A and B are shown apart, each in its own frame.
Chain A
Amino acid sequence: MLSRKRKRIRLIFLGLTLLVASALLVGYAMKDGIEFFKTPSELIDDPPPFGKRFRLGGVVSPGSIEVSTDGSVSFEVADQSASIQVIFFGILPDLFEENQGVITTGILTKENLFSADEVLAKHDENYMPKELVDSLKERGVYVKPLKD
């Protein structure tokens, strides 16, 4: 029979081991698991390395949406001073439109070409991703939704 104290020490030790293990796992997972948010002009000022996943947000430039026969869609995401070509293979969200805010997730494949595997548009007439609202507000082009 072990003494009470030693037992407690063992329990604390076990707890600490798990804590360290989870901290290590968190650190390791953070390497791939987090995605930074960038606007097109931030992207041009400070391009992330090719192949690094991140989120790109802005407004879909009017007249830039093109659907090709293989089902891929290309469009331009722009802010006030820059724009980036985005290519996406899949079904666009219901509220994807010209002059609407979008957030796309993917990687930079070439200079100024962003290959997205996820496109998020507004959820409904009020919902807009918060990052986007903030970046639009910073530029003074944010239009407040009717309901509020």
Chain B
Amino acid sequence: MIIEIAHFSLILTFMISLVQSTVPLFGAQKNWVNWMRLADKTALIQFVLTCFGFGVLIHAFSVSDFSVKLVALNSHSLKPLIYKITGTWGNHEGSMLLWILIINLYGFLIVLFGKKLPLGLRCRVLSVQGVISAAFLGFLLFTSNPFSRELYPPANGNGLNPVLQDLGLAFHPPFLYLGYVGLSVTFSFAMAALIQGKIDAAWARWVRPWAVSAWVFLTIGISLGSYWAYYELGWGGWWFWDPVENASFMPWLVATALLHSAIVVEKRNTLKSWTILLAILAFSFSLIGTFIVRSGVLTSVHSFASDPTRGIYLLIIVFMFILCSLTLYAVRFSSIKSINQFTFLSRESGLVMNNLLLSASAVIVFVGTLWPLLIETLLSEKMSVGAPFFNIAFTPFMVLLGLLLPVGALLPWRKSKIKRLKPSLLAIGIFSVVSGSVVWSLQTGTRILGPVGVSLSIWIILGSLFDVSKNSTIANGKFLRRYFRLNNLPRYELGKSFAHIGFGLMIFGISAVSAWEVEDIRIVHLNEPYQVRGYTFELIAVSEFPVSNYITRRGSLLVKKDERTLATLLPEKRYYPVQATTTTEASINSNIFRDIYVVLGDRNSENSWVVRTYIKPFILWIWIGAFCIAIGGVVSLSDRRYRMASSYSNKLVKL
């Protein structure tokens, strides 16, 4: 019964979203305040109803109600409770419902934090949110209803894909969706601004916190996904340039460009039309991403079941949104005026370069991701675009971005006084090149990647540190006074440096692990030690035993260096009888200098197994860097001005 009520509540939400997408918008055009005020209430009701629907689905999963088709297909009574719950969004219908829950959550948050937004802007924003919510609710109800019943409930369910039975599923999809869908808010703001034809610095001040928070979630979601792939898939890689990864990476690149260009709108009231375009593109990319992942045009762990009608419906949604928003943009383009000018050497032009490079790299990823689909549709030839393509085409833009970053971040607004900065920049530059050469002379082999990466990351990190120290230096600054000065530094400045340092750390991690990683595959006999780059490994036992819903075969490897035992690694192979599936669980010993990563392969003979061993220097820095980037976003969100912006008085607008 409660399932039917939940289903009904979703249908109700759909109806309300239709109201929300039309009535307030019409009211705003006519200036009918009552009609406009309706948006707040509908957004609230939508959120409550979707929460209810989602809650019921979680409940159905956790009590293993197999009379619900979705639960029967994707769950199993023997599964641990945590995976029953996370399994709610480990399937197509459930994850779409999560998508809708989050879009309505954002609607609710707009009402909550946007109390002081001008009514016209707020109700238009909520209207556009209503359109998005309606489109996806329609998709859910007509093609992928999560609440379909099974007429003859099976005794037990089919179970969840074992690869997904991991804590990663609890965090990666919700964070990613918070980011993906968060970009709908900036999109709605852009649409609302275009509809009402007014974009000013205040608009940017309202938009930027939303852009930053969506971007923070996206950053966390992507890096969680990357770490999950790293330890779960057992291939030792952290990024595969898989279409599904790219689907989340493209909106990230554009969102990064967006939050930089929004600064220019806010501070200098220029680059407005470009910022609007980026807001449209960022959400378009997350729609395209949703299409790529959810439609089943590409198969991966992420695409759960393919059904052609779903693909077509999704494609129509994506196409309509992009078409309508770009048309509106084209119509209104001429009315958006940017007044301020800036010179070649100014922070504005630094941010323009940042935008151009990020957009160009997003284009590269876009081409590489969609090329195989295009070729297959046009020439019916099958091919794939692999990592080598992206390494060649994408990397140069990132290197260029890294080179320009410290300079651009240091330049003052409007006009440059580069002369004053020159000596310090030169010193940092020389220092980073020298450190790179030192690394080059220390490493064995002649690969240039490692040293270049080290130089680049030192350049970025020192540049950002210099930026902070410059801002906190007073004429005869003592250390303590500097500290207080630092504490008084605007939070967005601090956040900026955090994020830039994170980017530098990430570059260091990526280039170090790509340049100096060691891979070793061999047949290992019990109690016969082998060596990989100074570490001694010894397989001391392999045992088999059942755990909750799987049977594990676990190897124990002793890792030693200089006769000192560092760790016992326990790589596993797990067999899940319900799905008749085996998964590989790598065992990793991590520290900030290196990861030791061991995978147990098949049995070769009575006492020997195939074992794959990796030594991955500095790989942890990739995720530490990503974490710093996200922290930077959070710190900048805590800036006073944004708190002020959320309580901007209505009077200003009336004037």
What is A's interface to B at a CB cutoff of 8 Å?
1-2, 4, 7, 10-11, 14-15, 18-19, 21-22, 25-26, 28-30, 32-37, 55, 67, 69-71, 89-92, 94-95, 105, 123-131, 133-134, 147-148
**In the complex, chain B residues whose CB is within 8 Å of the CB of A90:** 521, 612
**In the complex, chain B residues whose CB is within 8 Å of the CB of A129:** 299
Q: Which 7 A-B pairs have the closest CB atoms?
A: A33-B389, A37-B382, A29-B392, A91-B601, A29-B393, A94-B582, A33-B388
Would you give the shortest CB distance from B588 to chain A, in whole angstroms? 16
**In the complex, chain B residues whose CB is within 8 Å of the CB of A25:** 364, 392-393, 396
- How many angstroms from the CA of A15 to the CA of B349 in the assembled complex? 12
**In the complex, chain A residues whose CB is within 8 Å of the CB of B360:** 18-19, 21-22
Contact A125 B305 (CB under 8 A): no
Contact A91 B521 (CB under 8 A): yes
Contact A126 B305 (CB under 8 A): yes
Contact A29 B522 (CB under 8 A): no
The yes or no answer to B597 lying at the interface (CB within 8 A) is: no
Contact B580 A125 (CB under 8 A): yes
**In the complex, chain A residues whose CB is within 8 Å of the CB of B367:** 26
Interface size class of B (residues with CB under 8 A): 35 or more
Most buried by A among B163, B356, B389: B389
**CB within 8 Å: A-B pair count:** 131
Would you give the shortest CB distance from A90 to chain B, in whole angstroms? 5
**In the complex, chain B residues whose CB is within 8 Å of the CB of A148:** 305
- Given A14-B356, A18-B357, A94-B573, does the pair A35, B383 have CB atoms closer than 8 Å? yes
The yes or no answer to B42 lying at the interface (CB within 8 A) is: no
Q: 5 new A-B pairs (CB below 8 Å) besides A15-B356, A33-B393?
A: A26-B368, A30-B371, A33-B389, A126-B161, A127-B301
- How many angstroms from the CA of A89 to the CA of B523 in the assembled complex? 11
The yes or no answer to B503 lying at the interface (CB within 8 A) is: no
The yes or no answer to B542 lying at the interface (CB within 8 A) is: no
**In the complex, chain B residues whose CB is within 8 Å of the CB of A70:** 523
Closest to A72 in B: B521
- How many angstroms from the CA of A34 to the CA of B599 in the assembled complex? 29
- Given A91-B610, A92-B602, does the pair A36, B393 have CB atoms closer than 8 Å? no
**In the complex, chain B residues whose CB is within 8 Å of the CB of A71:** 521-523, 604, 610
The yes or no answer to B363 lying at the interface (CB within 8 A) is: yes
Contact B390 A33 (CB under 8 A): yes
Closest to A123 in B: B301
Q: Could you show 18 A-B contacts with beta carbons less than 8 Å apart? A: A21-B360, A22-B361, A22-B397, A25-B393, A25-B396, A29-B389, A29-B390, A33-B392, A34-B385, A36-B383, A67-B602, A71-B523, A123-B301, A124-B162, A125-B581, A126-B161, A126-B305, A130-B299
Contact A22 B363 (CB under 8 A): yes
**In the complex, chain B residues whose CB is within 8 Å of the CB of A10:** 344
Would you give the shortest CB distance from B430 to chain A, in whole angstroms? 28
Which DSSP category, helix, strand, loop or mixed, fits chain A's interface?
A: mixed
Which DSSP category, helix, strand, loop or mixed, fits chain B's interface?
A: mixed
Interface set, chain B 394-441, CB cutoff 8 A to A: 396-397
The yes or no answer to B143 lying at the interface (CB within 8 A) is: no
What is B's interface to A at a CB cutoff of 8 Å?
73, 158, 161-163, 234, 298-301, 305, 341, 343-344, 352-353, 356-357, 360-361, 363-364, 367-368, 371-372, 381-393, 396-397, 521-523, 573, 579-584, 599, 601-602, 604, 610, 612
Would you give the shortest CB distance from A116 to chain B, in whole angstroms? 13
Closest to A39 in B: B382
Would you give the shortest CB distance from B299 to chain A, in whole angstroms? 5
- Given A22-B363, A67-B604, does the pair A34, B73 have CB atoms closer than 8 Å? no
Contact A22 B364 (CB under 8 A): yes
Contact A26 B602 (CB under 8 A): no
Closest to B392 in A: A29
**In the complex, chain B residues whose CB is within 8 Å of the CB of A134:** 382
**In the complex, chain B residues whose CB is within 8 Å of the CB of A35:** 383-386
Closest to A42 in B: B382
- How many angstroms from the CA of A1 to the CA of B415 in the assembled complex? 11
- How many angstroms from the CA of A124 to the CA of B73 in the assembled complex? 14
Give which listed residue, B371, B372, B387, B599, contacts A91 with CB less than 8 A.
Answer: B599
- Given A19-B360, A91-B602, does the pair A36, B392 have CB atoms closer than 8 Å? no
Give which listed residue, B384, B393, B523, contacts A26 with CB less than 8 A.
Answer: B393
- How many angstroms from the CA of A128 to the CA of B581 in the assembled complex? 14
Closest to A129 in B: B299
**In the complex, chain A residues whose CB is within 8 Å of the CB of B73:** 147
Would you give the shortest CB distance from B398 to chain A, in whole angstroms? 12
**In the complex, chain B residues whose CB is within 8 Å of the CB of A11:** 352
**In the complex, chain B residues whose CB is within 8 Å of the CB of A147:** 73, 158, 305
**In the complex, chain B residues whose CB is within 8 Å of the CB of A125:** 579-581
Give which listed residue, A4, A19, A32, A130, contacts B298 with CB less than 8 A.
Answer: A130
Give which listed residue, A26, A30, A124, contacts B163 with CB less than 8 A.
Answer: A124
Closest to B355 in A: A15
